[in-house]
Amino acid sequence: MTNPAAPRLAVSNISKTFGPTCVLHQAELVVQPGELHALVGQNGSGKSTLVKVLTGYHTPGSGGSVAVDGEHLSLPVEWAAAHRAGIAVVHQDFGLLDHLSVAENIGVGGYERTRFLRRVDWRRQREVAARVLGELQLDIEPTALVGNLSASHRAGVAIARAMRDLVPGGGLVILDESTRSLGRQELSQFHEMLRRIRSTGTSMLLVSHSLDEVLTQTDRVTVLRDGRVVGAGLATAEQSEQSVAKLMLGRDVDDVDTRPAGESHYAPGVTITGLSGPGAASLDIAIGAGEIVGLTGLPGSGFEQLPYLLSGATPASGELTIDSTALSLARASVAACIRAGVVLVPERRDRDGLAMSLSIRDNISLPTLTRHGRPWWAGRGWQATQTDDAIATLGIRPNAPMRLIQELSGGNQQKVLLAKWMSVGPRFMILHEPTQAVDVGARSDILNAVQRAAASGVAVLLVSVEASDLAAACDRVLVYDGPDHLTEIRSTDPDTILDAVYATAAAAS
Amino acid sequence: MKIETPSPQGIEETQYATPAADAAGATTALLTEARKSADRWAWARALSSRYALVLVWAVMAIAYLVIMPDKFGHMTSVQAIFGSQQLLVFLAMAALSTLIVGEFDLSVASVMGLGATIIPVLDGTHGVKIWLACLVALAACTLCGVVNAFFIVKLNVPSLVVTLGSGTLFIGIAKLLAGAGAVSIIPNNAFRDLTQLVVLGMPISFWYGLVLCGAFAYVCACTPLGRHLMFVGANREVARLAGIRVNRIRSGSYVTAGFLAGLAAIVVVSSVGGFDPTSAATYLLPTLAAVFLSTAVVQPGQFNAIGAVIGIYFLETGIFGLQLLGLTGWIQDVFYGGGLVFAVALATIVRQHSKSA
């Protein structure tokens, strides 16, 4: 039977190889009852592989063991058995269906059924949903449509689904990069919920990119590098962001160069007047050549639309003047904007930024095909040179131009996306969340590359909710106060920027 | 059968000069990578993952040769296999032009059927000059493509629904025009020679097919347009944000498909001398089977023209041999249907294999 002294989860000596590459080497992981344990590592370090071994997706090499509450699971893990033993998973981006009700989403995979006809018993299903939501102290109506919920309530529903079958106070919930889509305010509510769950005795394993989150929210952390555990169950109270990052990378992190403080003077670069469209009503923005201007605001407030309005991707009106050429945004297509030197590095690299099934070289050369190629012959030499340059300057790994984007880590994908648009030779570069879901090493590479671009005279608009990025890389930051007003602040302190963002929320309510 | 395309520019980088050579160039890249990893058999794996289908084809042909050396091992067999599938080559290119940009056109065979009915109806029944009849048919087929594009791109109706419906509609119109049964043109030797003239032992339309395939492969692999098509197929939003006029390309693909189906109609009427609209539907499955087979060969995971032509002759070799063995009638359905499933399965396995390698 269950041994009360045993750890909630004990993974030992788990290895996994794909062909000749060993992605996980004798991994160990111990999570105690009622513990919030973090699992960190760069992309490709093996942390998702480890999670996938626990959920039965991958078959581990022989010799390892996985035990829940002292009971050994047979390997490869059978998901049904693991679930009975008390393992539950909250997926990346939650895996909720918007057009179904809360009760339906919570019930998926284990619907309550009526006795004779074996159809879904919706009344009992709603009771189940209400019970789990009650345990989580969430005030959500089980009949509400998930699509109509706020982001933090959606997170609650996803957790409720995971906890549905757990014995209260027992079990282990794996949160696999679940917090990516949450804004800062929602994140703090989410963390509060995690603390409540922990206080009941349920354990949690948090797979995360955010070292800040790991250090402030979790009890202990296991660090993976190149498939090996380099820090096993370290108490987070004794760690700093630098020490964990050093373990993850195996070297010290290059700092992001900070911009010189104080006002500097730039030659006129880009002037935008009367910008209107979704999320904007007659906004004026001016950015000097070589200047990096940040744009931030509350998640979901509408400032996320501005990059697309400025680059011809969403219909807008207003005028954009660049190097004394005026461009009417009402008439400008994406192609016209690119010709004028205005480029957008969009937010979702997998959806809007890169074709995942094509190669690094194909993706980088896409915007310049018609410029360097002739209609009857695209040419190859220039593409090879361009790609080699990009790989060298941004440090893209692996150094293999024909490698498909989907085989790269998130940080390297983001570098390819940046290289793709740098290759156009932009005059005005709009970056939307350029460091989203990338590891610390890639983050500093990316932000430093943006700074170098600015140093060569490019006007940069950095649209982001990451206050630390804005503070480090920007000359000044525009805070979105609503469609018709931006507040300018100059600060190298992330907290000052966040205060300004939340001041707009207070003013609005 | 090896398909060579003429080398358009030998100067820049010879290994990239033709689409076929591009594949070969990529293979060379794979080879060097493999040598670096000191894996002695990696080159064989790289080659087999790209050309597994050609290998299966060769094994099949050798098997037939062993079983019936007299019947199969004869020049007439080669001519029968390679001289009879021009129509499918044209139709496959029509289907490819939509599949490459991530669209789907189930109406190509019906559009061809409508065109192939219009020509004999105008020429045989109404006495219109054959050249004019061909032009009208070509225009009508292109118009069919415009109709498809309007509903799919402009009105955003799912392509499967539109082309399934419009295909049935077009063939219905063809039956209306033809009255009952087959229609024929007035015998015309010059028009017949347009496709049947024997050049280097093959009907000239066989060479047309190869030229069309080569041109198609060239556009896809070597021109900016081809690259844009590939991106529209891989991810529309990425293409749009790169300044490509995505909807224009999508519409263009349906119109091109209609035009190529019109050319296929001229080929079939010229070689047969008439057409029976009820037979049009039988060309759809072989076309799709060949096109999906292309995702398993030359450029695994991607629709490609050379692969489609290989697929066509692979399927025809299989059927021809089985027919020589005395299996007739039902064998076509079994082989084409089975071939389609086999094709997609092979492509999937090849893709997974190349990913984990």
Which residues, in sequence order, are bridge partners of residue A270?
A: A287, A322
As a whole number, mean pLDDT of residues B251-267 equals 97
- Name the minimum distance, in Å, from the CA of B171 to any CA of chain A: 36
**Cα separation, A285 vs A276, whole angstroms:** 12
Residues of A with Cβ-Cβ distance to B238 under 8 angstroms: 352-355, 366
Q: Strand order of the sheet with strand A268-277?
A: A280-288, A268-277, A317-322, A325-328
What DSSP character marks residue B150?
I
Which region holds residue A156: left if phi is over 0, alpha if psi is between -120 and 50, else beta? alpha
CA B319 vs. chain centroid, Å, equals 17
Angle at which helix B204-222 crosses helix B19-36, to 10 degrees, equals 50
**Cα separation, A173 vs B3, whole angstroms:** 57
Inter-chain CB proximity B223 and A377 less than 8 Å: yes
Question: If residue A66 lies in a helix (H) or strand (E), which one and from where to where?
Answer: strand A65-68
Q: Provide the token pair at A303.
A: 């400032």
Write the DSSP string, A36-85.
EEEEE--TTSSHHHHHHHHTTSSPPPTT-EEEETTEEEPSSPPHHHHHHH
Among partner residues B223, B238, B356, which is closest to A355 by beta-carbon distance? B238
As a whole number, mean pLDDT of residues B152-162 equals 95
List the single residue in B with minimal CA-CA distance to A420: B242
Burial per residue of B106-117, b for 16 or more beta-carbon CB atoms within 10 angstroms, e otherwise: bbbbbbbbbbbb
Inter-chain CB proximity B241 and A407 less than 8 Å: no
How many C-beta neighbours within 10 Å does residue A167 have?
A: 11
Q: Do A320 and A270 touch, CB atoms closer than 8 A?
A: yes
Q: Which of A16-30, A109-123, B97-111, B268-282 has the lowest mean pLDDT?
A: A109-123
Q: Do A229 and A27 touch, CB atoms closer than 8 A?
A: yes
Inter-chain CB proximity A376 and B29 less than 8 Å: no
Domain ranges of chain A: 1-86+171-253, 95-165, 254-341+426-509, 359-424
- Name the minimum distance, in Å, from the CA of B100 to any CA of chain A: 13
Among partner residues A366, A381, A407, which is closest to B227 by beta-carbon distance? A366
**Cα separation, B325 vs B67, whole angstroms:** 9
Cα→Cα distances B44→A317, A441, B27, B39, B52, Å? 58, 38, 10, 10, 11
- Name the minimum distance, in Å, from the CA of B248 to any CA of chain A: 14
**Cα separation, B45 vs B18, whole angstroms:** 23
Among partner residues A357, A369, A380, which is closest to B13 by beta-carbon distance? A380
How many C-beta neighbours within 10 Å does residue A249 have?
A: 17
Query: Phi then psi for A241, rounded to 5 degrees?
Result: -55, -40
Please tell me the predicted confidence (pLDDT) of residue B30.
47
How many C-beta neighbours within 10 Å does residue A460 have?
A: 25
HSE toward the beta carbon, residue B235, CA cutoff 13 A: 20
**Cα separation, B43 vs B24, whole angstroms:** 12
pLDDT at B348 over 80: no
Q: Find the chain A residues whose C-beta atoms sit closer than 8 A to any C-beta of B.
A: 18-20, 311, 313, 333-338, 344, 346, 351-358, 362, 365-367, 369-370, 373, 375-381, 400, 402, 407
pLDDT per residue rounded down to tens, chain A (509 residues): 455 678 899 998 888 887 666 788 888 999 999 999 999 887 668 888 888 888 888 888 888 889 988 888 888 888 888 888 888 888 777 778 888 888 888 877 767 776 676 677 778 888 888 888 888 888 888 888 888 888 788 888 888 888 888 888 888 999 887 776 676 677 888 888 899 889 988 999 998 877 888 888 899 999 988 888 888 888 888 888 878 888 887 766 666 777 765 567 788 889 999 999 998 899 999 999 999 999 998 877 888 899 999 999 999 999 999 988 899 999 889 999 999 999 999 988 888 899 988 999 999 999 988 888 888 888 888 999 999 999 998 888 888 898 888 888 788 899 999 999 999 999 999 999 998 878 778 888 899 999 999 999 999 999 998 888 898 899 999 999 888 889 998 888 888 888 888 777 666 65
Q: How many CB pairs under 8 A join A and B?
A: 87
Mutate: best of A342, A358, A420, partner B, most B CBs <10 A: A358
**Cα separation, B109 vs B281, whole angstroms:** 6
Inter-chain CB proximity B222 and A354 less than 8 Å: no
Please tell me the predicted confidence (pLDDT) of residue B4.
38
- Name the minimum distance, in Å, from the CA of B354 to any CA of chain A: 11
Check whether the bond before A494 is cis (ω within 30° of 0): no
B265 Cβ partners below 8 Å, 6+ apart? B112, B113, B114, B115, B116, B118, B119, B137, B138, B141, B275
Fold designation for A254-341+426-509: Rossmann fold (3.40.50)
Same fold, A1-86+171-253 and A254-341+426-509: yes
List the single residue in A with minimal CA-CA distance to B242: A367
Q: Do B65 and B73 touch, CB atoms closer than 8 A?
A: yes
List the single residue in B with minimal CA-CA distance to A384: B13
How many C-beta neighbours within 10 Å does residue B17 have?
A: 21
Residues of A with Cβ-Cβ distance to B16 under 8 angstroms: 380
Cα→Cα distances B17→B207, B257, B299, Å? 21, 27, 16
How many C-beta neighbours within 10 Å does residue B29 have?
A: 15
Q: For the segment A167-209, what is each residue's pLDDT rounded down to a tens digit?
A: 888 889 998 877 766 766 778 888 888 998 899 889 999 988 7
The mean pLDDT value of chain B amounts to 84
Which residues, in sequence order, are bridge partners of residue A175?
A: A90, A206
**Cα separation, B45 vs A361, whole angstroms:** 23
Cα→Cα distances B261→A247, A375, B75, B215, Å? 62, 25, 30, 16
Q: Is A499 exposed, middle or buried (0-12, 13-18, 19+ CB in 10 A)?
A: middle
List the single residue in B with minimal CA-CA distance to A356: B234
How many C-beta neighbours within 10 Å does residue A376 have?
A: 13
Residues of A with Cβ-Cβ distance to B301 under 8 angstroms: 357
- Name the minimum distance, in Å, from the CA of B81 to any CA of chain A: 33
Q: Provide the token pair at A267.
A: 């030659």
Q: Find the chain B residues whose C-beta atoms sit closer than 8 A to any C-beta of A.
A: 8-9, 12-13, 16, 26, 29, 33, 37, 39, 222-228, 230-231, 234-235, 237-245, 301, 355-357
**Cα separation, A127 vs A52, whole angstroms:** 31
List the single residue in A with minimal CA-CA distance to B221: A378
Residues of A with Cβ-Cβ distance to B9 under 8 angstroms: 377
Please tell me the predicted confidence (pLDDT) of residue B201.
87
What DSSP character marks residue B325?
T
List the single residue in A with minimal CA-CA distance to B219: A376
Instruction: Find, among A276, A492, A484, A179, the residue nearest to A504 by Cα.
Output: A484
Cα→Cα distances A375→A378, B224, B304, Å? 7, 6, 20
Place of tokens 């000749």: A20
| Maximum CA extent, chain B | 71
Q: Do A282 and A274 touch, CB atoms closer than 8 A?
A: yes
Mutate: best of A22, A334, A337, partner B, most B CBs <10 A: A334
List the single residue in A with minimal CA-CA distance to B233: A355
**Cα separation, B329 vs B282, whole angstroms:** 13
Mutate: best of B41, B235, B352, partner A, most A CBs <10 A: B235
Burial per residue of B223-241, b for 16 or more beta-carbon CB atoms within 10 angstroms, e otherwise: bbbbbbbbbbbbbbebbbb
Inter-chain CB proximity B223 and A373 less than 8 Å: yes
CA A403 vs. chain centroid, Å, equals 23
Q: Where are the alpha helices (DSSP H) in A136-235?
A: 151-163, 184-200, 211-217
Q: Provide the token pair at A286.
A: 């001016």
Question: If residue B120 lies in a helix (H) or strand (E), which one and from where to where?
Answer: helix B108-120
Inter-chain CB proximity B227 and A375 less than 8 Å: no
CA B169 vs. chain centroid, Å, equals 23
- The bridge status of strand A71-73 relative to strand A87-90 is unpaired
Residues of A with Cβ-Cβ distance to B225 under 8 angstroms: 375
What DSSP character marks residue A260?
P
- Name the minimum distance, in Å, from the CA of A339 to any CA of chain B: 9
* Structural domains in chain B plus CATH codes: 17-31+39-356 (1.10.3470)
Angle at which helix A381-394 crosses helix A440-455, to 10 degrees, equals 110
SS3 of residue A174 by DSSP: strand
**Cα separation, A278 vs A290, whole angstroms:** 28
pLDDT at B17 over 50: no
Please tell me the predicted confidence (pLDDT) of residue B134.
96
Among 3.90.1150.10, 1.10.3720.10, 3.40.190.10, 3.40.50.300, what is the CATH number of A1-86+171-253? Answer: 3.40.50.300
- Name the minimum distance, in Å, from the CA of A78 to any CA of chain B: 23
Beta strands in A268-387 (DSSP E): 268-277, 280-288, 292-296, 317-322, 325-328, 342-345
**Cα separation, A331 vs A319, whole angstroms:** 10
How many C-beta neighbours within 10 Å does residue A195 have?
A: 12
